Structure 1
């Protein structure tokens, strides 16, 4: 997989392949492409042939030779066997794009000899293919399909060993121009027959498996052009201890123009038929999912995150019979940190930083950026969906909480707790109270809560809970009896 990433990165760097000349394959154009690809490489690696481009009849042959990196490494601590050049073919298209094709395999092994002992590793990919359309105007693929078969990885140290494998993997990339310098980018894929084994360490042996792992990533409104300019500006100036005044002004213009970087970012990963084998037995679930989303570098940035599990399966016999029925059929946690003024922090940086100095901001200015990010010193945590559902209970929670990182004892919250199947829950607790005395106490507490509930319709009870900074609690607008 790393080889394919390197291939894609090389194609990504074809910024200088002018669309006006893209249809004509020539040695001169091959030299031009190679010079741009190697622009930021040390001269000795260029001369050793780390990246080369040659013109053929109707395509360019792009070769990346990773053995050069190893030859330039003077340390004897790292040894690698099986490295070979990787090749991609770039075919100019009439519209000024390139069709990028690559087909290869990967089989290397090696070791790293560092304290506290030698670590060995291996990477194997039986076959992998890339076929995509690369647009030099946006420095990205407008479409691309990448597949790989029989992927395996091993890592062994004196402390533990790890083996992992996929039966196969398929990814699709796409980018669509939505405006001048703005892209919508997406990536979807599936990995099949995942298996991983970890042995050694405090946990003994752990076996992790999944039938499939689905990945879906999208970025809407990516400010591609200005971010591209910013990246190249950094690469062009990274060797300098400090910037000249004109370059510092240029950097500020680029930073301001890049906001909000993108409009929305969403990433979802879902693993199906998951198993985790431990010394206590095998845990499982029909599916486990993870999601993260963000609305860009804005004056009110929101960063969401969450996970969910469907039909979890604990090992047989690990739970007492009284608890087995209480295992949820599904559980979800989805929350977000909201109202972050990231754009305000960036604007403050642009307005106050002096990039001609080794330390662009003073200590107090750095602290001010932190204060800007959290308006009023408060972090807003939104509970968007926190739920657990089983045949005997159905619980949902949503609301907001304010916390003050610099004032540990200062916080407040407004949440709504909704319960369905309330009577089933109480009946279950009472039925098992003789076996688990704590269930009797819980049943009594729920019955007390029912007296404070409001009717939420559909047979559900709800509690609107408000916790003030003074610690006082209101439930459905009424104070608790002992706080009156």
Structure 2
């Protein structure tokens, strides 16, 4: 996979080619492509043939030789076997794009010696294939399919060893031009039969496995054109200790123009039939999910993230039978950091930073930058879905909380707790209170809560909890009894 990524990165580096009508493959154009690919490489690596392009009858042969990198960084501490050139084939298409194809495999072994400690590693990919259409205007694939056969990795040191493997992997990427300079990008994929074993260290032996990993990522409204200009500006000037006034002004203009960078970003990863084997037993779950979302670098940026587990399975005998009834069949924690003024921070940077100096901002300006990100010093956390469901309870929490990092005593909250199967929950706790005395206390507390609840319909009880900055608590609009 790593080599495939390097190969794809080389293809992405067809940076300054403008869309042209399909033309005959020629040595002159091959040289032009190679020059664009190697524009930011040291001359010694260009001369050594790190990246070369050759014209064939109807395509260009792109060759990347990683051994050149190893030769330039060679030392007695690093030893690698099995490195070989990677080849991709570029076929010009009528609309000025390129069809890119590659079919490779990987089998390398090596070691790194640090002092008296020797660390060994290996990477094996039975098959890796790329088939896509690359658009030089957007510097990205309009469509691409990546597939791999079995992938295996291992590393070992005197203290710990790690082995990992993945079965077949398939990824598909699609990029669609929207308005001028804007793209919608989506990627979906699946990795089958993941397994990892860690031996040694404080945890002893740990085995992690999953039948499959499903990945879904999308970015809407990506401002690709201005981001290209920004990246090339940085690459063209990264060798300078400081910028000239005109260059600093150009950088500030690019920063402003890039906002909000993208409109929406979402990512979801779902692992199916997860197992974690430890010396204490084997834990598992029917599914584990992770997701994140973001609405760009805006004046009211919202960054959300979440985790979920379905049908968790503790090691046999770890929990008494009475506790198995309260283990959730499904649990979710999803929240967001809201109202972050990231765009305001970027604009402040553009207004005040002086990139002609070694330190663009003063200490006071750096502190102000941090204050802008949190308007009025407030950090707002929104609870989208915090829930747990089992055969004997169904509880959900939503709402928001506001804290002030610079004033630890100042905070407020407005959340709603909803419970279904309330009577079933209380009955279960009371039935098993002789075995677990804590259940008796819990059932008593729930009965007290029921007296403060409101009817949420469909057999549900709800509590709207409000915590003021003065420390007072309201339950469904009424002050909580026995509070100061």
Partner of 1:402: 402
2:20–2:95 contact (8 Å) kept in structure 1? no
What CA deviation, in whole Å up to 9, does each residue of 1:445-473 have, x standing for no partner?
Answer: 01100000011011110000011122221
Partner of 1:33: 33
Instruction: Output the TM-score relative to the length of structure 1.
Output: 0.99
Q: Secondary structure at the match of 1:9?
A: helix
- CA distance in 2: counterparts of 1:60 and 1:22, whole angstroms: 13
What CA deviation, in whole Å up to 9, does each residue of 1:289-338 have, x standing for no partner?
Answer: 00000000000000000011111111111101110111111011110000
- CA distance in 2: counterparts of 1:146 and 1:420, whole angstroms: 46
Alpha-carbon shift at residue 114 of structure 1 (Å): 1.6
- CA distance in 2: counterparts of 1:346 and 1:44, whole angstroms: 38
Q: Is structure 2 residue 58 aligned with structure 1 residue 58?
A: yes
- CA distance in 1: counterparts of 2:20 and 2:134, whole angstroms: 15
1:16–1:32 contact (8 Å) kept in structure 2? no
Aligned length: 484
Is the alpha carbon distance of 1:115 and 1:418 closer, same or farther for their aligned partners in structure 2, counting shifts above 3 Å? farther
Partner of 1:453: 453
1:219–1:266 contact (8 Å) kept in structure 2? yes
What CA deviation, in whole Å up to 9, does each residue of 1:41-69 have, x standing for no partner?
Answer: 11111110000011111100000000001
- CA distance in 2: counterparts of 1:239 and 1:225, whole angstroms: 23
Partner of 1:104: 104
Which of structure 1's runs of 4+ aligned residues deviate more than 3 A? Answer: none
Partner of 2:275: 275
What CA deviation, in whole Å up to 9, does each residue of 1:16-36 have, x standing for no partner?
Answer: 333226522111111111111
Partner of 1:3: 3
- CA distance in 2: counterparts of 1:187 and 1:113, whole angstroms: 38
- CA distance in 2: counterparts of 1:395 and 1:414, whole angstroms: 17
Structure 2 residues without counterparts, runs of 5 or longer: none
Partner of 2:234: 234
Moved more, 152-161 or 378-387: 152-161
Partner of 1:43: 43
- CA distance in 2: counterparts of 1:136 and 1:23, whole angstroms: 15
Q: Secondary structure at the match of 1:84?
A: coil
- CA distance in 2: counterparts of 1:125 and 1:293, whole angstroms: 32
Pairwise mapping of residues 249-260 of structure 1 onto structure 2 (< 5 A)? 249-260=249-260
Partner of 1:290: 290
Partner of 1:245: 245
Is the alpha carbon distance of 1:398 and 1:160 closer, same or farther for their aligned partners in structure 2, counting shifts above 3 Å? same
Alpha-carbon shift at residue 405 of structure 1 (Å): 1.2
Partner of 1:466: 466
Structure 1 residues without counterparts, runs of 5 or longer: none
Pairwise mapping of residues 148-187 of structure 1 onto structure 2 (< 5 A)? 148-187=148-187
Partner of 1:204: 204
Alpha-carbon shift at residue 279 of structure 1 (Å): 1.1
Pairwise mapping of residues 113-192 of structure 1 onto structure 2 (< 5 A)? 113-115=113-115, 117-192=117-192
Q: Is structure 2 residue 225 aligned with structure 1 residue 218?
A: no
Alpha-carbon shift at residue 132 of structure 1 (Å): 0.3
Partner of 2:75: 75
Q: Secondary structure at the match of 2:167?
A: strand
Alpha-carbon shift at residue 428 of structure 1 (Å): 1.0
Moved more, 83-92 or 25-34: 25-34
2:291–2:307 contact (8 Å) kept in structure 1? yes
Pairwise mapping of residues 424-443 of structure 1 onto structure 2 (< 5 A)? 424-443=424-443
- CA distance in 1: counterparts of 2:17 and 2:261, whole angstroms: 25
- CA distance in 1: counterparts of 2:74 and 2:272, whole angstroms: 45
Alpha-carbon shift at residue 15 of structure 1 (Å): 2.0
What CA deviation, in whole Å up to 9, does each residue of 1:91-113 have, x standing for no partner?
Answer: 00011100000000000011111
1:16–1:33 contact (8 Å) kept in structure 2? no
What CA deviation, in whole Å up to 9, does each residue of 1:173-225 have, x standing for no partner?
Answer: 11000011100001110000111111111111111111110000000000000
Partner of 1:483: 483
Partner of 1:321: 321
- CA distance in 1: counterparts of 2:140 and 2:162, whole angstroms: 34
Q: Is structure 2 residue 381 aligned with structure 1 residue 374?
A: no
2:21–2:94 contact (8 Å) kept in structure 1? no
